[in-house]
Amino acid sequence: MKCLIIENGKGYFSLNGISKTALDQLTKNDMLDLLNKIFSEDVEMDEYNEERLHQAAHRIIYRNLYQRFNDLVANRTRFIDESESLYRPAIEKYKVMISDVNAPQKG
């Protein structure tokens, strides 16, 4: 799915690969949805090209998003592995606690 698009001199983002929205309308929730897409599926982005983006605001937003998202895509596996290892002790602890609560009571 292509999440960052340059078309007709403007930058766009897409959450579904079909519809697109201008970058200057990006909300915090849209950003979170884009980040979730990056971590859950393969995404594509048009390479940043200053000459293809005619509006200064779109240039700035697109360049920053492209750099950050590109870094996340490149390091996605390492980031997921580090996150899992960081929280593994807590996950294991709560699995045991939940299984104890759900265990049949003797009596």
Residue 107 lies in a domain: no
Q: How many domains does the chain have?
A: 1
The pLDDT of residue 91 is 79
Residue 24 lies in a domain: yes
Instruction: Return d(Cα 78, Cα 72) in angstroms, integer.
Output: 10
Give yes or no for a contact between 43 and 37, defined as CB atoms under 8 angstroms apart. yes
The pLDDT of residue 103 is 62
Residue 67 lies in a domain: yes
Task: Please determine, for residue 106, whether its predicted confidence score (pLDDT) is greater than 90.
Answer: no
> Could you list the residue range(s) of the whole structural domain that residue 60 is in?
2-102
pLDDT tens by residue, 12-49:
999 999 999 999 999 999 999 999 998 888 899 999 99
Residue with tokens 């759900």: 102
Give yes or no for a contact between 54 and 92, defined as CB atoms under 8 angstroms apart. no
Q: Encoding tokens for residue 14?
A: 């897409």
